[in-house]
Structure 1
Amino acid sequence: MKDFATSDNPLVQAQLNRLSQLSLPQGRLGLETIHELLARLGDPHKRLPPVFHVAGTNGKGSTCAYLRAMLEAQGLVVHSAIKPHLVRYNERIRIAGELVSDELLASLLEEVLDASDGLDPSFFEITTAATFVAFARYPADACVIEVGLGGRFDATNVMDRPAACGIATLGIDHEAFLLVPEEGAPTEPMVRIAFEKAGIARAGSPLVTQSYPDPAVEAEIAIRADFAGAPLHMRGQDWWADVGETIRYRDAKGELELPLPSLPGRHQGDNAALAVAMLRHQDAVSVSPEAMAEGLRTAKWPARLQLLVEGPLTARAPGHEIWLDGGHNADAGLAIGRHFAGQDIHLVIGMLANRNPDNILDPLAGRLLSITAVPIEGSDCHRAKAYASKARWADSVEEALSGLPSDGRPVLIAGSLYLAGKVLEANGEIPD
């Protein structure tokens, strides 16, 4: 799996060309390569500011966005690392609140790629090493780091003692990597997912999690936390949050009433509550309730139920609200379904060929006025017949929007973060 990227800067593009040649060697899983690469670079992961490390199937990116916003609202300097990028590779590395510059990015990638000679590293290992090198060299008060894939064998999972680790919602995704049979690992799929995500637990670092409907999942997380020596703080057992008109949060330290986050969707209240709980269960940095409230109001996380602004793309469908979501798995589909409950919408969808269209279609059943399938540039994707017998095909999102009726109904563009990035770029909403 590779997340391809391009750059207008020739120095960055030269390194991205090198990066694009890398792939995960067939059958290799483990942290040996990333540890060796980091050792060659002087072990930058051992010199980071306090780290907030977040795993999960859905919601981990939003949780990271809330953590960063709340920490910055406290006046702290924050490094952050998110995955994947939507438009520019630079989005993956944010230094002291600013996206890494082209000049620094080119230098970082060159340094790390040169150091990796003979190791056969993956795209993700190079990216993670470059991130840690940058975060170790530039002063900050805290780091927010999103897990890329799983947790146990994710390249970010090399830190000895983060300030706090978090696990957001869980679901079935990336089965080819996370459900590979392994001796000693759970065989029930959701329990195996919990096993992989809880692999980020570290001795002495609080592990803060959501609650989960399956007791076996919660039991597996508890086992992994105990095995690692990580104090476990699970929602519904050690902390509570009621999401309604506000977020009513409580734990052993007391109660808070916080505003709902600016990002739409009830699930965002749950993600925000997890970020609050992570801050409340650690002692590396101090964040006031006022800063938490301000962070929830100001946090941004593109391509997750994002209402697009007026731009070149939205001008193709005047009179319509146009929403964008990059979700593709079942949990993401449920969140989309809840957001559009009671509304009839037009769907513009592009999904990779290895994704299940029903993840998005089923939660919207009976509410789809039209379905228009679009391609995902450079990737194998589903054709129109995979979505519905009456779905139509358009060669681009622009063509899909231009073909919608003038009925003023909302439009959702969904199915892939790769597609979402192209949409943001076309509408002039490049993440900064």
Structure 2
Amino acid sequence: MTYQETINYLFTRLPMFSRIGAAAIKKDLHNTIALCDALDNPQQHFKTIHIAGTNGKGSVSHMLAAILQTAGYKVGLYTSPHLHDFRERIKINGEMITEEYVIGFTKRIQPQIDLIEPSFFEITVAMAFEYFAKEQVDIAVIETGLGGRLDSTNIITPELSVITNIGWDHMNLLGHTLEKIASEKAGIIKQQIPVVVGETLPETKPVFEAKATAMQAPLHFAYEQFSNLKKETVDHKLLLDINETASNKQLHYTLDLPGIYQTKNILTVLSAVRQLQQLNFSITEAHLQTALASTKKINGLHGRWEVLQSNPTLVLDVGHNEDGIKQIVAQLAESSYRQLHIIIGMVKDKEVEKVLALLPQDASYYFTKAHIPRALPETDLQQKAAAFNLNGICFENVNAAIANALQNAQKEDLVLVCGSVFLVGEVEWSMERGE
């Protein structure tokens, strides 16, 4: 098989959440365990950091990987979903897994695929684990897909567990209360392994405390260790002054990820770094400064308030759930523009109305969809939006919507693409830029 034939096989032969939703999710770890057993349990041959959370886990994963790489370690990075190329999910020191490895692995694992009928995600997890083991990484940063307790990645015993935050997302799979969602995410907490929690709510903090106590796992709340003193956005970079509680020391960082929600993620990252230093990882302040200023460049994180052009300003953001859209609205409140143009597409299994209720009524809207079966038709989204006095026109694809918005926009305007990771992934502009 060629690479494209292999990818088509993986996308169509295996149950895939982005295409079919909850039906692709397996309710236990049996398949992943069986796959990794067949591969001689590669996950046991390298160190890991395990990261879960409703929002922010992609940013935190990429920042930690950049820091460890800058400190001289060979670093695996497993994240999902991808935006443009499947291989974005599996990287070592910022370089994607080779096409040849994807082809070879898929051929070798076909007997297991036929035997146990795994999901797409289960196969990609096994592929990542084998690749990292064969390439002898020093450590791998592993991001969960959904939840934590039953996530396919949850067969590792990490050096450190990290939970960014808890919010409303995937309730049909994780539970309809914040406590239940937190309990699923807390499933990554392992016996005597330190855990960092970025943010808590009154409903979620006791869940983490109880789980950590039961597992005898040292528990650290990032917001108790660090706090933001000042933030400023200059030239699409985020300048931060941060106080470390224990030493009362002021720290200064420049992030190439300009979204103001990174002010929360950075506290989680710093708390995680302190734990890694306790575990004898050689990470200096200079490594932090360098890595945080270049996370996008080091390992290619896209779609987090990503500015593609100015005059008019065109921004991509993968925010797609209630909490993610709240962060986008907060970002808009701090942005300067004449008129706002919002290009939005969503998937059917999100709480669409809750998202629409948060969006500004004075923006011009361009309703569209990603080309996946789970996508909400743009006409349905337009109809739902009208109930919230959000009015606009429909487009069959995101690139046609962008072209129209840029044509309508004046130089001082802001054009924002949001609502679905898969929608942002179909923006041809960011692919052509190749950043």
Could you state the TM-score of these two structures normalised by the residue count of structure 1?
A: 0.87
> What is the alpha-carbon root mean square deviation over aligned residues?
2.3
Q: How do 1:231-242 residues align onto structure 2 when only pairs under 5 Å count?
A: 231-237=218-224, 239-242=225-228
Kept in 2, the 8 Å contact 1:261–1:269? The answer is no
Partner of residue 370, structure 2: 376
Pick aligned residue for 2:109 from 94, 98, 112:
112
Pick aligned residue for 1:356 from 346, 351, 354:
351
Partner of residue 410, structure 2: 407
Partner of residue 124, structure 1: 121
> 2: distance between equivalents of 1:204 and 1:12?
43
Residue 423 of structure 1: how far off its partner (Å): 0.3
Which stretch shifts more, 411-420 or 401-410?
401-410
Residue 208 of structure 1: how far off its partner (Å): 0.2
> 1: distance between equivalents of 2:141 and 2:361?
40
> 1: distance between equivalents of 2:103 and 2:302?
25
Residue 366 of structure 1: how far off its partner (Å): 3.9
Deviations 1:192-248 (A, max 9, x none): 11101111011121100123232x3100011111222211111344x2222523242
> 2: distance between equivalents of 1:424 and 1:169?
31
> Does residue 321 of structure 1 match 2:316?
no
> 1: distance between equivalents of 2:64 and 2:134?
22
Q: Secondary structure at the match of 2:68?
A: helix
Kept in 1, the 8 Å contact 2:80–2:145? The answer is yes
- When residues 341 and 140 of structure 1 are mapped into structure 2, their CA distance, relative to the original with a 3 A threshold, is same
Could you state the TM-score of these two structures normalised by the residue count of structure 2?
A: 0.86
Q: How do 1:245-324 residues align onto structure 2 when only pairs under 5 Å count?
A: 245=231, 246-250=240-244, 252=246, 255=249, 257-282=251-276, 283-300=279-296, 301-309=301-309, 319-324=311-316
1:208 partner amino acid: V
Q: Secondary structure at the match of 1:208?
A: strand
Which stretch shifts more, 139-148 or 387-396?
387-396
> 1: distance between equivalents of 2:25 and 2:304?
32
Q: Secondary structure at the match of 1:265?
A: coil
Partner of residue 214, structure 2: 227
2:198 partner amino acid: Q
Partner of residue 392, structure 2: 391
Kept in 1, the 8 Å contact 2:321–2:351? The answer is yes
1:45 partner amino acid: Q
> 1: distance between equivalents of 2:24 and 2:139?
35
Kept in 1, the 8 Å contact 2:222–2:267? The answer is no
Partner of residue 142, structure 1: 139
> Does residue 165 of structure 1 match 2:166?
no
Q: How do 1:11-90 residues align onto structure 2 when only pairs under 5 Å count?
A: 11-14=3-6, 16-23=8-15, 28-48=26-46, 50-90=47-87
Q: How many residues align?
A: 402
Deviations 1:340-381 (A, max 9, x none): 10654111111112223445443332441x101113223331
Kept in 2, the 8 Å contact 1:201–1:225? The answer is yes
Partner of residue 174, structure 1: 170
Query: Percent identical across equivalent pairs?
Result: 27
Q: Secondary structure at the match of 2:242?
A: strand
2:174 partner amino acid: L
Partner of residue 235, structure 2: none
> 2: distance between equivalents of 1:26 and 1:333?
26
Kept in 1, the 8 Å contact 2:316–2:418? The answer is yes
User: Which structure: greater helix fraction?
Assistant: 2
